[in-house]
Amino acid sequence: MTDRITLDQWQGQSIRIKLSTDDGSRLLEIAPLNGDGRASEFGPDDSQAQRLRCAARIVLELNSSLARLMQQGKVARLEIKRSRPRLPFRLQRAYEATVLRPQIEELVAPLVFDSTSQTPLRAFQEFGVRWLVEHQAGILADDMGLGKTAQALRAAGQLIEQGIIRSALIVCPKSLLANWEAECERWVPRLTVLRSIPLKKESDEVWSAILGRSHIIVTSYEQLRPLPKSLTTARLELVIADEAHRLRRSQSKLVKAFRLMNTERIWALTGTPIESHEVDLATLLSLLEPTRFSTKSTASDFTGLRSQARPYLLRRLKKDVLSELPHVIDTKELVELTPQQQRAYSAARSQPLPKDAGEALKRLTLLRSICDVAPRNGASAKLNRIVDILQGVQEAGEKAVVFSYLLQPLNVLARRLTREHPLLGVVTLTGELTTAERGRVLQDFKTNEKVVALLCSSRVGGEGLTLTEANHVVFINEWWNPSANAQARDRVVRIGQERIVQVHRFRCQGTIEETLDQILNRKSAAFANIVDALASGVQLSESDSKELLGEVLGELGPSLQPCD
């Protein structure tokens, strides 16, 4: 058994904190210092002492029974076991917040157990983590694809595990909530995560119940309009603002809400080259350091502003870290269906699955198409995210090819970009065009600087083209056969491509897409051959049909089981 001891002050009282290690568990003992004057095992700046002191304060502040023992001059004891990763809870109501928030033992565990091995970072990312840890206010403006999420989470994890802060609030677009949860599981698996998306009438109660009661709380920008009262009164130790370009309009309600928050640390993440936008940069900096910067700073001396801003901003381009990067950065994001998509998906899924293999494939295709676009109004979580990505591609002066094996998502995306982002030029390549029209579309994409994206049918653009003018490949959806997707990707990843290529893929959380992904990873060739045959109208034998329905569809959940 190993004991570690340190001293601290709590409510004006000297206390002695002892941590005992035995058989994988930890016993934390907190007792009044009864004048014995025993010296601390650690110096005042020792990291272990800091962690123990933070653990003791969490226990005494959140456990009233143990706090009373201390006040009575007795020893407060708490046994702690190494916590296992838990799925993030999603809180909408006040009673959920109280019941589902992490236990005190879970909050204390990272402070009393040594860190386990973690997913490695690249050298430039490790530098980014150190830079964030050292900056209470900062803008991480790395180029798209360099891992801003990983760096921010690992930096927040270090601060939490060292006892410097207790919790972090992450604010992101609604479409990225699921992806942040997945990234937390990958980069900081020892920390507890809550998603706070409360109903408006219960918002203050939910926030009051969870602030300081989870290592990481993830919420959306929409939840901050208007700002819950609890977030105006609480001292927020760390706020991470993802896609921070949403905070560049100084008079927006969102920016005003951020100004009302009382933050100790705030990190803004954006892949946009914000240095070229005077007012945008000034607005972001005024959120980070309101006493030093204001939006009026740009009126007289933008050159001076840039110079003053340099210590607050870290930006690396892909070309700066080329030697550390793979030739292709392939990312997969989890998104959540919009409410309109969710209603359509639930209705389609509730119907019994036909026994005939061809009809079953139609049902699966319908479910997958709903994951792309809601059939009635065109709502789409994927397209919301793709618009954000294309805006970043445009501002970086780059180009993208967007693939879909279905035409509807391409058409919906084209109309939306034309209507809402007329300066973001796009052209569309589908099988409906003549040979001459295809040639003009491709020439426009390759030579017109204003054309940012080629919206391309996977069946038409998946073979025979060289599109090295682009260095982003975006899949709205992918074909059942991974080799077909690889062929589409290789229109951009091929000889003549001189830049790092970023591939963007999406999966809708809790849908057939997630499950099919797992199936294809295990038996892609066999499954793809069967589906390709069905899609081509080839009649399968009874054994083939049973294999498809029994072994594959059976894994998609009880509501997709074949009906008798």
Q: What is the pLDDT of residues 172-223, one digit of tens each?
A: 988 889 889 989 999 999 999 999 999 988 999 999 999 999 999 999 999 9
- φ/ψ of 235, rounded to 5, equals -90, 110
Containing structural domain, residue 313:
89-114+121-320
What is the rounded distance in angstroms from the CA atom of residue 178 to the CA atom of residue 561?
27
| The domain boundary residue, chosen from 320, 346, 380 | 320
d(C-alpha 119, C-alpha 185), whole Å: 11
> pLDDT tens digits, residue range 411-467?
999 999 999 999 999 999 988 888 889 899 999 999 999 999 999 998 887 667 889
CA pair distance 440, 160, nearest whole angstrom: 56
Quickly tell me which residue has 């409510």 as its tokens.
11
Residue 117: CB atoms within 10 A of its CB come to 5
Instruction: Report the chain's mean pLDDT, rounded to a whole number.
Output: 84
**Nearest CA among 177, 195, 210 for reference residue 509:** 177
* CATH number of the domain encompassing residue 468: 3.40.50.300
Question: Are 458 and 555 members of one domain?
Answer: yes
| Average pLDDT, integer, range 20-24 | 80
State the Cα–Cα distance between residues 138 and 180, nearest whole angstrom. Answer: 20
* Same-domain status, 216 and 290: yes
Exposure of 506 in the CB half-sphere (CA atoms within 13 A): 27
Question: Is the torsion defined by CA of 387, 188, 161, 132 positive or negative?
Answer: negative
Q: Are residues 373 and 437 in the same domain?
A: yes
Tell me, yes or no, whether 261 and 387 share the same domain.
no
Same domain, 305 and 188: yes
- Residue 316 and residue 334 in one domain: no
DSSP state of 552: I
Higher-confidence position of 324 and 297? 324
* Neighbour tally for 240: CB within 10 Å: 26
CATH number at residue 100: 3.40.50.10810
Cα–Cα distance, 140 to 313 (Å, whole number): 6
Kindly state whether residues 99 and 60 are assigned to the same domain: no
Structure tokens at 516: 């099919």
Check whether residue 56 and residue 174 sit in a common domain. no
Q: Total domain count for the chain? A: 3
| pTM, full prediction | 0.81
Residue with token string 């229109």: 491
Task: List pLDDT tens digits, range 494-534.
Answer: 878 888 899 999 999 988 888 777 766 665 555 555 555 55
pLDDT of 562 strictly over 50: no
Q: State which amino acid sits at residue 488.
A: A
Within a 13 Å sphere around the CA of 411, how many CA atoms are in the beta-carbon half?
Answer: 9
Q: Indicate if 457 and 386 belong to the same structural domain.
A: yes
Q: How far apart are CA 89 and CA 193, in angstroms?
A: 7
Q: Examine the domain organization and report whether 434 and 558 are in the same domain.
A: yes
Tokens of 242: 């993802």
Is the pLDDT assigned to residue 301 strictly greater than 60? Answer: no
DSSP three-state, residue 220: strand
The model's pLDDT over 104-155, given as tens digits with 9 standing for 90+, comes to 999 999 999 987 777 899 999 999 999 999 999 999 989 888 899 999 999 9
Same domain assignment for residues 316 and 331: no
Contacts of 160 (CB under 8 A, 6+ apart): 110, 166, 167, 168, 191, 215
- Which residues, 6 or more positions from 425, have their beta carbon under 8 angstroms from its beta carbon? 448, 450, 451, 452, 453
For 48, the enclosing helix (H) or strand (E) is helix 47-62
The residues with which 241 forms a beta bridge, in sequence order, are 171, 268
Kindly calculate the radius of gyration of the chain based on its CA atoms and give it in whole angstroms.
27
The residue among 320, 345, 372 that closes a domain is: 320
Decide if pLDDT at 563 tops 80. Answer: no
The residue from 297, 320, 343 where one domain ends is 320
Question: What's residue 70's pLDDT?
Answer: 86
**In this structure, are 291 and 400 located in the same domain?**
no
- Asked if 500 contacts 318 with a C-beta cutoff of 8 angstroms, the reply is yes
